């Protein structure tokens, strides 16, 4: 355009808005500045916002040929990722307009905007600036006016070099600043980053600005000098390297910028800036050489090998949406951590990627993408310094607490708490962040309308309280008030929120508070407040008879609370623990026993209380629940270790004798005590007696029967009511053994809401049967010895004389017209047939008179008859089901009603299997876990549904599962194995680490070779059979006997019909039908294996 424009005065001054009227597709929005040379505006158009630079044409004689170069530059830099040339030119009679995309921040503004750049971000911006110069050099394009105002920075720290000055003069007079002010000092900052060689006093060169060849006039060395000045401004936090007068003096070696360069801490950056800003342009390198020369010194290797290409993917057109960007980061999370943290040990570089992540959070639309973003934030926070977490992550997390989706709000709370745990140092600028920002933001979550949010707040409130206290104790804290008053204010605020949670109407919220926060809140409140605020409210949870999980959580949280209060807690622990031992729910009893063991180990229970609790706990040694038995053993061993040797022999061992097969001395050792215990009572017997209303009459009948068996005589059970007689028949039909009769003793405890019972299991089964007379005096003494320490109400039900030779068991038979025989317990040893004189039987009596060998034979016959009858009934039902035909309901449609929402699995769920009784079902997943669920729990009333038990001890993803009966689960995993699991032994929420090491739910593992058979594709159990059939990807169909752990039969499928995907087996084992991936169905005859 020429230097004559400087002296040209416009004939009329118009606003920039008037010029935009000539471009109808652009609508004026805001003026961005106006100078004599150009007017700049921000305008709307159909794709967003644009920057329009307007040059007012003073007269028609002005040559606008240089404007055409703008379109040429745009075509050349089309694929330059760090360059943003003008994208359109509009020439009218009054003006020439240059249009480009609008970017909010330039480098000059970003340097002084929070959060301030750290060292790695400065290097990243400098690296991108030199990359932009390298991209321009490869396209044979030069900028001509590089300064911090022309370097644009996106919200994810991507650099774009813009406003290419092809229309500005290449040379300026060194004695007249008017040209510089007119063309280059548009911001009026007086900074000058133009190369010294562009100032000249040669009039011929100045005149060539009119008809210059742009590609020849401006050189790469000139842009290198300007870029060096911008890099110096980056590393000195905005201090300019030159103004116009200093640059002219530097051109004549009369000024040294050493004072500004010394502010750059990194010596390598200082050397590179010095090299880029040399007066002699011939000594300056090209951009590519600067990248290669300072690789590994200033710019880390992962800038070249990973980061530039990875972030560049999200900057290419078409740009990805925010949800797509977050999903990509979440998918590549492992790869990112592997490249930046584990291999390069450059965790600080995650700050750059976190800018990309945080720039998308406010624009996310989908719930799953928001949850993914929170997960990535949590993983990044593990490797980032404290000030980055507080300055960058916390504001976005607090913003997500206002999200409309409850799951997002709940997860934002958990992520905030987790990120705060990674804060190890408190910056002085963030010392008041808790009191002024975080606590007011999270306080409203305690009264959120959604239960999951309140649950998350209950889980994390202790973490927030702890971190707030840490910030309060930090030396950077500048308190306007005293420390004591500030601490009291923090405790009062936390106490109010905790009391709201403790009185929440939903029990799951209170359960979360007990499980996750009580122990930490004790330390936060102090001993007195913990007793007043926490314990007084927690005791009321035991009144909730409907939610056993809340009661179990109470006893689990009782340990840390008592540990913090100390020995003073003993006075209130005893009634609470006794109530837990008498609870009707087995999980609560198990957790109570575990708590007692831990309290004993910590020395929080006095000696007399230990002995009293032992008397109530020892009978659980023969309880049918394995978890209760194991925790009871833990209680006994803990007490034995704390008590002295004399106390163990005086108090502990006498209590254990009725439940031991043989006497032991090392009571404190778990394995010794477990090996000596008598077998437990079966669940089927326990349930029958537990639910029987006339329990006293039943005990009397069992006691009379036991005494007669011990004396080896025949007796009659007279005066029995119909209910007791029916219960005796049920017990004999369940094959109750003499051992179970001897050790079974039952407590019935009457309460206001009904009758509740416990199995006390306090009976010595080893009896000393005398060959002579058994006097009533000996029997009475024997009862007193057995029932020592038991309740008076039941003392008459205990007692059995120890015998070296066990007496034979008998079979009861009712003397009635039905002549129905009832099988009793089997004999443990051979005994001679003995007969006694039988008195005349009365109507309604139950008579005993059989030899031992005859009893064994009769028991075997009746057992086989029962099996045969059960098989006939099963076949009859199957035949009825096969022959019955019913028309399908034509107008029925599924309602799509959501019954339950389960969130425990961390990976895809591959299969759901239902047990034959429909009481349970199991899910298997890629997260290598098997989870057992109770069907009765899923009635749509619970907000959070939890699995009853789980097992996570597999070497690969679990693909298939089925039930073998109601007590065993068979599943297959990707590591080439089929596992048999016991439901009773699977770990639950009530189990502890001590229990997990004692037993494993995996009974055994059957290997399936990947090389010979391939992966297991499906797995099913045959009804009423211990045989499981599985198919493999190589076409094998194998039947596995769970008893012998060996294959029963095997079929070979032709893979030309497709890979086996599913199958079904006839319950009668006559046929088997398979389906393949090609849609082929093949039926096999299992009788002939065809």
Active site amino acids: 145
- Comparing C-alpha atoms, which of 678, 732, 672, 686 is closest to residue 705? 732
Q: Tokens at residue 909, please?
A: 């769920």
Cα–Cα distance, 935 to 938 (Å, whole number)? 6
493 Cβ neighbours under 8 A, 6+ residues apart: 439, 443
Burial class (CB in 10 A: 0-12, 13-18, 19+), 911: middle
Cα–Cα distance, 1062 to 236 (Å, whole number)? 68
Q: Is 812 within 8 Å of 728 (Cβ atoms)?
A: yes
Q: Phi/psi zone of residue 33: left (φ > 0), alpha (ψ -120 to 50 degrees), beta?
A: left
Cα–Cα distance, 649 to 611 (Å, whole number)? 12
SS3 73: helix
Q: Tokens 């100045």 map to which residue? A: 206
CA 791 and chain centroid, separation: 48
Any alpha helices (H) in 156-286, and if so which ranges? 178-183, 203-207, 214-217, 220-235, 244-251, 258-261, 267-276
Any alpha helices (H) in 139-202, and if so which ranges? 178-183
SS3 660: strand
The helix or strand, by DSSP H or E, that contains position 5, with its residue range, turns out to be none
* Half-sphere exposure (Cβ direction) of 934: Cα atoms closer than 13 Å: 9
Any alpha helices (H) in 643-711, and if so which ranges? 645-647, 653-656, 670-676, 683-690, 695-710
**Other Cβ atoms within 10 Å of 909 Cβ, number:** 14
Cα–Cα distance, 542 to 555 (Å, whole number)? 10
**Other Cβ atoms within 10 Å of 260 Cβ, number:** 18
CA distances from 870 to 588, 737, 822, 865 (A): 37, 22, 18, 8
SS3 643: coil
Cα–Cα distance, 1025 to 1043 (Å, whole number)? 10
Any alpha helices (H) in 756-851, and if so which ranges? 776-786
Cα–Cα distance, 295 to 489 (Å, whole number)? 53
Q: Is 495 within 8 Å of 532 (Cβ atoms)?
A: no
Q: Tokens at residue 685, please?
A: 């017997």
* Half-sphere exposure (Cβ direction) of 975: Cα atoms closer than 13 Å: 14
CA distances from 672 to 185, 329, 764 (A): 90, 54, 19
Cα–Cα distance, 43 to 30 (Å, whole number)? 7
């Amino acid at each position: 355009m020429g230097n004559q424009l400087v002296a040209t005065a416009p004939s009329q001054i118009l606003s920039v808005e008037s010029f935009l009227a000539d471009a109808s597709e652009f609508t004026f929005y805001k003026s961005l500045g106006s100078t004599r040379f150009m007017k700049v505006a921000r305008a709307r158009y159909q794709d967003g916002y644009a920057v329009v630079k307007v040059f007012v044409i003073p007269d028609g004689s002005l040559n606008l040929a240089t404007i055409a170069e703008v379109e040429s530059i745009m075509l050349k830099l089309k694929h330059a990722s760090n360059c943003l040339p003008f994208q359109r030119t509009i020439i009218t009679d009054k003006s020439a307009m240059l249009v480009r995309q609008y970017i909010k921040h330039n480098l000059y503004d970003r340097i002084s905007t929070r959060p301030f750049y750290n060292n790695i971000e400065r290097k990243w911006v400098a690296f991108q600036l030199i990359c932009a110069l390298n991209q321009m050099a490869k396209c044979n394009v030069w900028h001509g006016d590089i300064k911090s105002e022309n370097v644009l920075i996106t919200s994810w720290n991507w650099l774009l070099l813009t406003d290419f000055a092809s229309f500005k003069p290449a040379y300026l007079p060194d004695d007249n600043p008017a040209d510089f002010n007119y063309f280059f000092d548009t911001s009026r900052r007086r900074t000058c980053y133009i190369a010294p060689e562009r100032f000249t006093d040669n009039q011929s060169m100045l005149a060539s600005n009119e008809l210059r060849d742009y590609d020849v006039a401006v050189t790469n060395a000139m842009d290198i000098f300007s870029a060096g000045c911008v890099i110096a401004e980056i590393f000195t936090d905005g201090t300019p390297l030159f103004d116009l007068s200093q640059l002219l003096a530097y051109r004549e070696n009369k000024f040294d910028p050493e004072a500004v360069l010394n502010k750059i801490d990194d010596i390598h950056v200082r050397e590179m800036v010095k090299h880029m800003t040399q007066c002699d342009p011939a000594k300056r390198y090209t951009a590519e050489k600067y990248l290669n020369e300072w690789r590994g010194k200033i710019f880390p290797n992962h800038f070249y090998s990973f980061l530039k290409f990875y972030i560049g993917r999200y900057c290419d057109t078409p740009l990805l949406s925010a949800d797509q960007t977050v999903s990509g980061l979440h998918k590549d999370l492992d790869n990112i951590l592997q490249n930046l943290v584990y291999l390069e040990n450059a965790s600080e570089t995650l700050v750059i990627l976190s800018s990309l992540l945080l720039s998308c959070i406010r624009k996310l639309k989908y719930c799953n993408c928001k949850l993914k973003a929170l997960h990535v934030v949590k993983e990044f926070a593990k490797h980032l310094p404290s000030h980055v977490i507080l300055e960058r992550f916390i504001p976005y997390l607090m913003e997500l607490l206002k999200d409309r989706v409850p799951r997002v709000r709940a997860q934002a709370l958990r992520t905030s708490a987790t990120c705060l745990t990674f804060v190890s140092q408190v910056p002085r600028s963030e010392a008041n962040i808790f009191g002024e920002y975080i606590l007011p933001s999270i306080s409203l979550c305690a009264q959120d309308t959604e239960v999951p949010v309140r649950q998350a707040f209950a889980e994390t409130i202790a973490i927030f309280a702890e971190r707030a206290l840490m910030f309060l104790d930090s030396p950077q804290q500048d308190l306007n008030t005293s420390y004591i008053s500030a601490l009291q204010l923090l405790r009062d605020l936390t106490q109010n929120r905790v009391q709201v949670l403790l009185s929440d109407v939903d029990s799951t919220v209170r359960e979360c508070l007990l499980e996750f926060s009580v122990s930490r809140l004790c330390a936060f409140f102090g001993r007195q407040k913990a007793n007043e605020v926490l314990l007084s409210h927690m005791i009321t949870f035991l009144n909730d008879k409907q939610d056993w999980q809340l009661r179990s959580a109470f006893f689990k949280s009782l340990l840390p609370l008592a540990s913090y209060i100390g020995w003073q807690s003993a006075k209130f622990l005893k009634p609470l623990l006794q109530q837990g031992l008498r609870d009707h729910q087995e999980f609560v009893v198990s957790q109570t026993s575990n708590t007692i063991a831990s309290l004993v180990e910590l020395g929080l229970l006095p000696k007399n209380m230990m002995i009293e609790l032992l008397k109530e706990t020892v009978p659980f040694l023969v309880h049918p629940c394995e978890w209760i038995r194991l925790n009871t053993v833990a209680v006994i061993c803990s007490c034995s270790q704390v008590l002295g040797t004399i106390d163990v022999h005086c108090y502990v061992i006498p209590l254990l004798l009725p439940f031991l097969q043989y006497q032991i001395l090392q009571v404190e050792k778990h394995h010794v005590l477990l090996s000596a215990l008598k077998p437990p009572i079966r669940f089927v017997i326990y349930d029958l007696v537990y639910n029987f209303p006339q329990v006293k009459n039943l005990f009397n009948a069992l006691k009379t029967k036991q005494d007669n068996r011990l004396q080896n005589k025949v007796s009659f059970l007279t005066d029995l009511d119909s209910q007791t007689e029916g219960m005796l028949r049920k017990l004999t039909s369940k094959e109750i053994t003499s051992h179970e009769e001897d050790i079974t003793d039952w407590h019935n405890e009457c309460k206001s809401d009904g009758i509740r019972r416990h199995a006390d299991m306090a009976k010595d089964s080893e009896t000393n049967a005398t060959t002579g007379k058994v006097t009533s005096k000996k029997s009475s003494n024997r009862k007193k010895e057995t029932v020592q320490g038991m309740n008076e109400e039941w003392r008459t039900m205990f007692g059995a004389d120890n015998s070296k030779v066990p007496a034979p068991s008998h079979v009861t038979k009712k003397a009635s017209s039905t002549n129905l025989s009832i099988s009793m317990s089997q004999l443990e040893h051979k005994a001679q047939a003995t007969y006694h004189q039988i008195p005349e039987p009365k109507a309604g009596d139950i008579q005993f008179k059989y030899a031992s060998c005859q009893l064994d034979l009769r028991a075997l016959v009746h057992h086989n008859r029962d099996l045969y009858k059960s098989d006939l009934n099963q076949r009859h039902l199957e035949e009825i089901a096969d022959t019955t035909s019913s028309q399908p309901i034509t107008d029925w449609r599924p309602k799509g009603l959501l019954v339950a929402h389960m969130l425990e699995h961390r990976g895809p769920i591959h299969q759901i299997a239902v047990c034959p009784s429909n009481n349970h079902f199991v899910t298997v997943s890629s997260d290598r876990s098997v989870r057992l669920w109770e069907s009765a729990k899923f009635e749509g009333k619970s907000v959070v549904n939890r699995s009853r038990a789980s097992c996570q001890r597999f070497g690969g993803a679990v693909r298939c599962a089925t039930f073998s009966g109601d007590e065993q689960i068979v599943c297959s995993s990707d590591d080439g194995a089929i596992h048999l699991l016991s439901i009773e032994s699977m770990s639950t929420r009530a189990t502890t680490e001590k229990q997990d090491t004692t037993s494993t739910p995996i009974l055994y593992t059957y290997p399936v070779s990947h090389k010979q058979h391939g992966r297991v594709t499906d797995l099913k159990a045959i009804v009423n059979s211990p045989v499981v059939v599985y198919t493999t990807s190589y076409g094998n169909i194998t039947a596995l006997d769970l008893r012998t752990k060996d294959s029963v039969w095997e079929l070979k499928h032709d893979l030309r019909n497709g890979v086996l995907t599913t199958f079904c087996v006839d319950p009668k084992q006559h046929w088997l039908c398979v389906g393949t991936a090609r849609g082929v169905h093949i039926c096999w005859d299992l009788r002939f294996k065809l």
